[in-house]
Amino acid sequence: KNAKKVTLRITDLNSRVIFIENINNFLQEKFTKQIDISNINLSNGTYIIDIIADDLNISKKFILEK
């Protein structure tokens, strides 16, 4: 299999990018990734996480409640 570049991105509902991380040379079909957003000053609310690769684009909403 070819290595892929995967991008993880969190945006607010106004499409403002809150967090972005690129993972290069990604070879796994399944993986777990924990994202530490504790150092980002986020308000309670709804956000969107995008997982983007060559042949994949997944978007999921999540609600942050502190």
Taking the whole predicted model, whether its pTM rises above 0.85 is answered as: no
**15-63 per-position pLDDT tens digit:** 999 999 998 877 777 778 888 888 888 899 999 999 998 888 999 999 9
**44 C-beta neighbours (distance < 10 Å), count:** 8
Q: 42: which 2 tokens? A: 């986020």
The pLDDT value recorded for residue 2 is 67
**60 C-beta neighbours (distance < 10 Å), count:** 9
User: Which residue reads 């809150």 in tokens?
Assistant: 18
The pLDDT value recorded for residue 41 is 87
Say how far apart CA 12 and CA 49 lie, in whole Å: 9
Tell me the C-alpha to C-alpha distance, in Å, between residue 61 and each of 5, 26, 49: 22, 24, 6
